[in-house]
Amino acid sequence: MFHFAKPGLSGEQTPILIAHDRYGHHLDAVLPNRSEDAVSAVLKEAVSKTNGLLGMDGDPALIAFAKKEAIEYELILASHGEHVHEKVLHVQTVNSYISRFKKWLDQFNGVATKYLPNYLGWRRMLEKSAAVLTPQQCLLAAIG
């Protein structure tokens, strides 16, 4: 379980950007900070004006990125009781993934920040595999 002296988002936490689209594509990255530049470095190639509408929480860096790139966006603020926008956009896929990721990390009793990208990759592999993974599949994923 994650225990922090400060509630909510703070400098005690390492920012991770997680995105899913309606086609099942997943993107995650450990960010050096919660700035627009850090968000842009990850999302600029993955998200474009042609992708349609971006549904997101109210993070200022995400909003600044969408505005700068002229990408249409809709805020979905769970803290205001919002979870779905017009029965089409929702943040539950990402929220569910984050919940599963945090629960899965608990078993490791803490993860060094420098290894966090490896754990994200490991979790991506587990999420993609509907069937039971073999050692061979794990090795191929690790070197490929």
C-alpha span between 46 and 2 (Å, rounded): 30
Region of residue 52 (left: phi > 0; alpha: psi -120 to 50; beta: else) = left
C-alpha closest to that of 120 among 3, 43, 27: 27
pLDDT in tens, the chain (144 residues): 344 445 455 667 889 998 887 777 788 999 999 899 999 999 888 886 655 677 777 788 989 998 998 888 878 766 656 555 555 556 677 788 888 899 999 999 888 999 999 999 888 888 877 667 788 877 877 776
Range of the domain at 69: 16-112
Residue 10 located in a structural domain: no
Residue 93 located in a structural domain: yes
Residue 90 located in a structural domain: yes
Residue 22 located in a structural domain: yes
Residue 143 located in a structural domain: no
Residue 138 located in a structural domain: no
Residue 108 located in a structural domain: yes
Residue 51 located in a structural domain: yes
* Number of domains the chain is built from: 1
